[in-house]
Amino acid sequence: VQLQASGGGLVQPGGSLRLSCAASGRTFSRYNMAWFRQAPGKEREFVAALRWSGVTYYADSLKGRFTIARDNAKITITLQMNSLKPEDTAVYYCAADISGRLTTTAQAMAFMTTYDYWGQGTQVTVSS
């Protein structure tokens, strides 16, 4: 499975960006997918996740600003980011759990260890 993240860039505070993650794999529609981010000097952190069933999860601090979605026909997931803040500056990574386990708890959907495959990351910089 290969994941290719794109859509990052420089945006002013208050602006929006939409990240995309193109995946390979014939059973993409059964993958659980997620976005994580890593700011300079910080550990990688959970942003959002999407079960293949359609259930979504978000980091508490990002609810209402970020939206994760998938397009099975395009074998892509997206992360719509609105009202961006300087503290959202980070490299954003998409990740896939190809087992699509329904037994994965909601808490575990936010764990890096849940995911088998990772994209290369796309830089998001929020600055005026």
Query: Using an 8 Å Cβ cutoff, are 56 and 48 in contact?
Result: yes
Listed in sequence order, the residues at least 6 apart from 102 whose beta carbon sits closer than 8 Å to its beta carbon are: 51, 53
Alpha-carbon Rg for the chain, nearest whole angstrom, is 14
- Pairwise CA distance, residues 29 & 25, whole Å: 9
Confidence band (pLDDT; 50, 70, 90) for 101? confident
Mean pLDDT of the chain: 94
For a pLDDT cut of 90, what percent of the chain falls above it?
80
Distances (CA, A) of 1 to 25, 29, 80, 123: 6, 13, 23, 22
Give pLDDT tens digits for 9-23: 999 999 999 999 999
Residue 112's pLDDT is: 95
Q: Is 91 helix (H, G, I), strand (E, B) or coil?
A: strand
